[in-house]
Structure 1
Amino acid sequence: MPFSAANHGRLRRFVQRVRTRVQNHSNRSHIWKTQMKNNRICCIICSDKSGENVVLSQPCKACMSYWCQSCLSEHCEFATRSITDMPPKCCIALDPRIVLQFLPETNHDRYKRLFLEYRTEAKDRVYCPNSNCTTFISPYEIRKQQISSGECLESKTAVPLNQLQSEVVHRRQDSAMANQDLPIIQCPSCKTEICIRCKKNSHEGACRLEDDPVVAQIRKFGYKRCPRCGYGTRRMWGCSHMQCVCGAHWCWNCERNYNVCDALGGCDNDDDGDDDDSNLEDPEEGTEIADGEAKTDPEETGHNLEGINNPESTTQNLDRGSHAYWERQGLNFGDEPSSMESEETWGCPHDFDQPMEKAGDDLGKQLCWDCWTTIDEQYLKCWMCNLVRCKDCQKLL
């Protein structure tokens, strides 16, 4: 995602502010670090104190609080239940190396798959269309298949230097793949062939991008989808800062990660203005029905029931009404969005500085967050979200 020099500077300043707040929070964390029980540091969750049978660790880089192995393992396992619980976090997301260390080995593949799914925005996600499979296929897997299938493959041949004046690069392009109109991949689980443009089963000819009638109706009613998980959302009233049930913070106006939107100066239309349906009349109060036996005969009720056989004519927007109307109702639509001191990898445009020379730290060697291989040499790190990527994946993606 290209950014101008001005926007690039705004993003850097914004990330620096976030990291300063996190550092200040870390400086205040002595209250947690010195939480004692019988003169011993104890787990922040269960208060078990350190000793011969209790080993404490500090998984969070922001607050440096102490966790016992049991609580940390349970926390990591809980987060791998579904995509909405990802990633395991304290103040910020935990380093994948820590999560894998405290997860049972049987859950490693599930965590890696869910973490890649969490990092991929909803509009870019590809799932197997086979209803018996529905496996998520990561951008890394898609790109790897495209290259190995022959769309664009470069390979260098090692030959004695005395036989060459310059390096020879062989370019191979499979004719069968090159002649296809659509990029086709295989589901790594069930081998179903998938068109990644329409995200359906492979087919001949152009994609038929028919609009789902349900999606069209939802859009007409003023709903939007969370850009991270795709969950349907309706802004009843308030500002454009949204927090989804999956934990993602996003802007209602531009539908981007709210950190990115805020870093770029925010949206021009960032107010409590009404949505497209605000000019409609506010919902009428319910009709009072007299006590007594219910009338089920159409002739007795006097109501026209023609619309029953026509679903479109009976579809109503139960959330219809202006922002002012819903604000007057005094209903509880949930808490205000929480603070955003965590650095989220989803929706991040990813900008990498020069390759990092050191391939390890106090947690050991780095892991690539795309291919999950251990990095022995140089690696790249996004200065905005801390994503770690090996040089091979950077070339691939």
Structure 2
Amino acid sequence: MSVPFNMDAVMSSTTTAPVPVTPATIPTSPPTAGPKMDLTVRMPPKSPPRSCIICTEPSEDLVRPCRSCSSDYCGDCLVEMFAAATEDPSRMPPRCCNLLQIHTAALDVGLEDDYRAKFEEWITLNKTYCPSPLCSAFIPERLLPLEEPKGATISLTSILTQLVTSVSESPAARFFRGELPITELPGYTEVVLHPMDLGMIQSKVQALSYSSTTDLTKDMLLIVKNARLYNGPEHPIAKAADQMLEKYVSELSKKIDKLVLLASRTSPGDHVICPKCHIAICVKCKQIEHSINPCDTSVQDHELAMLEQFRYKRCPLCKHAVKKMFGCPFMQCVCGAHWCYYCQRSIDECDGVCDEQAAMEDMEEEEEEDEEEGYGDDDEDGLEQLAEMRRNLLASEAMARVNKAAAPAPPATTVPSAPDTTPLPPTQRPNTRIVDLDAGGARRWAGADEDFGDEPDEHKYQLWSCPHTFITFTAPDDGYDHGDLDRMECNKCYTHVDTHPTKASASDIGVKLSMQRLEVCAAKLSKAWGGAGVPLDHEPGSGEACVKATVAMECKWCRLLVCWPCQEKLRALKVED
């Protein structure tokens, strides 16, 4: 039997154990006050004012000329950088992380022109200078004549074809063109054993049966001989054969004269006019133009022999002679070029592939120095003697310059005495042997007192040896001043270039170009392709072609800025290399 459960009865029952209650905590001391909350509204700290990275002076008119970082430059420091690069080749080009463009600085016209001239001279690898000692002006590469397209190849077949054609067109050849069946004449084959006419000669020319003009002349004489045998020497046909032979001799003489003139004459593409002193310069040997005379390279050959003898190397950028005294082959020339001393390539292109060549050259140099100076590893007498000779020579040269500057000018009435032509005794004759004052090797120069400067510093992509990967120039849209983009120009031909048209169509921009601008674009496009036409779907003077020609192309490594035709030219040179 179940009993209903009564919760109220259970809760009210006295036998139920009381529920324990936790007593309230009674504080023994007054409560301490908690930390006060700072309700002050704090403003973010003000950023320091922008300042020039060079002079550290704050300014509102700052420019961010570098395309790879956010460094600020003031106008005065930028101008000083361009001016210093114009005066000092080691500071060329003005650079931050990369090349700084001329449109980022407010230069006056004179400084702009000087900078362009110095930059063009600096970046040119195969430099050309005026050979006149009173001039020595730099000849820009853009002034050198373009390589003319080669014409038709002059061959024996073409010469013989022109000869036979000229003779066949003469009235005297009407009986010998092969149009008349002379072999069917009565008794002709009995008198003439070897028939010949101009038609047969033309067939032999096309079949390349002639190896020289002598063979052709023999067949021409055979035609005259056959005409005389069959008709007699006084027959009109025989007389016509004689006239045809005279025509042949005349045409052959003209061809020979033209070939001689072609081989000996100086074409306009063989020389360039100096823009300063206006003398003609031979492009091949870079000496004063010498007409039909062959180039004389004896001076250059002697210089190269001297450099080879004393183990000097030429800087691949400025072509100055350099000799490594000791240390690693990482060279930093006064022109700013970083290159390997052994392979004479850019330090980026070397990559240590010339270790064997370096070891071999060092070994040969040490052996030659030991043989010439007569000392070994433990004998320093030769080294000390060579160093003493060098110091004495430098001191004597300095003293001679001082004496020359201090000496009074001789009176105008003084007549110089005749030189003494008496030969000196053998013991008093000057030593004409050329002494290499830089010899001695690393063991001499490593402990010498001369200061060779600091080790070459790290570098980024070099402008002169950069492989150049061009992309379209994009103007930054960050609210900062990046220079006057309307003054952008190509670093190769110095013509104006524009940013890439993004909103307006090429045809709309082309309509806005002036007629003079269109003509310049057409000329640039034609020159870039050697006059062979423009590889575009539009005519050279159309708006789209000109917009493409003036759009700025930028190397993403060294930041070289060029126009589209110059980019195509550099790309063609890269493929040829």
Name the structure 1 match of 2:146: 146
Structure 1 CA distance, aligned partners of 2:98 and 2:57? 23
Q: Aligned AA for 1:49?
A: P
Residue 383 of structure 2, aligned match among 269, 284, 289: 284
**Residues 329, 128 of structure 1: CA spacing in aligned structure 2 closer, same or farther, 3 A cutoff?**
closer
Larger radius of gyration: 2
**Residues 69, 117 of structure 1: CA spacing in aligned structure 2 closer, same or farther, 3 A cutoff?**
same
Alignment of 1:242 onto 2:331: yes
Structure 2 CA distance, aligned partners of 1:178 and 1:388? 42
Measured against aligned partners, the alpha-carbon deviations of 1:103-158 in whole angstroms (never above 9, x if no partner) come to 2211212111111111112xx1001222333221222221xx336xxx3499xxxx
Name the structure 2 match of 1:386: 559
Percent of counterpart pairs with the same letter?
32
SS of structure 2 residue aligned to 1:112: helix
Aligned length: 307
Name the structure 1 match of 2:497: 375
**Residues 396, 131 of structure 1: CA spacing in aligned structure 2 closer, same or farther, 3 A cutoff?**
farther
SS of structure 2 residue aligned to 1:250: strand
Bigger helix fraction: 2
Counterparts of residues 67-82 of structure 1 (less than 5 Å): 67-82=73-88
Structure 2 CA distance, aligned partners of 1:335 and 1:258? 17
Q: Aligned AA for 1:251?
A: C
Name the structure 1 match of 2:462: 344
SS of structure 2 residue aligned to 1:39: coil
Counterparts of residues 353-372 of structure 1 (less than 5 Å): 356=472, 364=485, 366-372=488-494
SS of structure 1 residue aligned to 2:339: strand
Shift in Å at residue 243 of structure 1? 0.6
Alignment of 1:46 onto 2:50: no
Shift in Å at residue 335 of structure 1? 1.0
**Contact 1:277–1:321 (Cα < 8 Å) also in 2:** no
Structure 2 CA distance, aligned partners of 1:384 and 1:91? 10
Structure 1 CA distance, aligned partners of 2:556 and 2:65? 20
Residue 119 of structure 1, aligned match among 119, 123, 134: 123
Structure 1 CA distance, aligned partners of 2:489 and 2:53? 28
TM-score (norm 1): 0.66
SS of structure 1 residue aligned to 2:430: helix
SS of structure 1 residue aligned to 2:331: strand
Measured against aligned partners, the alpha-carbon deviations of 1:62-90 in whole angstroms (never above 9, x if no partner) come to 44322211122112111111434321123
After TM superposition, which residue ranges in structure 1, 4 or more long, deviate above 6 angstroms? 175-178
Q: Aligned AA for 2:73?
A: W
Structure 2 CA distance, aligned partners of 1:218 and 1:249? 20
**Residues 210, 188 of structure 1: CA spacing in aligned structure 2 closer, same or farther, 3 A cutoff?**
same
Structure 2 CA distance, aligned partners of 1:370 and 1:81? 20
SS of structure 1 residue aligned to 2:146: helix
Residue 196 of structure 1, aligned match among 238, 262, 283: 283
Shift in Å at residue 255 of structure 1? 0.7
Provide the alpha-carbon RMSD of the alignment. 3.6
Name the structure 2 match of 1:163: none
Structure 1 CA distance, aligned partners of 2:134 and 2:475? 41
Name the structure 1 match of 2:42: none
Q: Which runs of 5+ in 2 are unaligned?
A: 1-45, 152-260, 376-381, 389-424, 477-481, 499-546, 571-577
Counterparts of residues 211-250 of structure 1 (less than 5 Å): 211-212=299-300, 213-250=302-339
Measured against aligned partners, the alpha-carbon deviations of 1:192-233 in whole angstroms (never above 9, x if no partner) come to 211111111111222111144455323311111211112221
Measured against aligned partners, the alpha-carbon deviations of 1:169-203 in whole angstroms (never above 9, x if no partner) come to xxxxxx98995367111123332211111111111
Moved more, 229-238 or 175-184: 175-184
Name the structure 2 match of 1:207: 295
Name the structure 2 match of 1:183: 270
Q: Which runs of 5+ in 1 are unaligned?
A: 1-36, 155-174, 289-301
Q: Aligned AA for 1:135?
A: A
**Residues 275, 223 of structure 1: CA spacing in aligned structure 2 closer, same or farther, 3 A cutoff?**
farther
Structure 1 CA distance, aligned partners of 2:474 and 2:276? 32
Structure 1 CA distance, aligned partners of 2:363 and 2:115? 38
Measured against aligned partners, the alpha-carbon deviations of 1:1-34 in whole angstroms (never above 9, x if no partner) come to xxxxxxxxxxxxxxxxxxxxxxxxxxxxxxxxxx
Structure 2 CA distance, aligned partners of 1:59 and 1:351? 20
Measured against aligned partners, the alpha-carbon deviations of 1:35-92 in whole angstroms (never above 9, x if no partner) come to xx993222222222124xxx22222334432221112211211111143432112333
Measured against aligned partners, the alpha-carbon deviations of 1:332-374 in whole angstroms (never above 9, x if no partner) come to 4221110012x222134x4555x73x67666526522111111
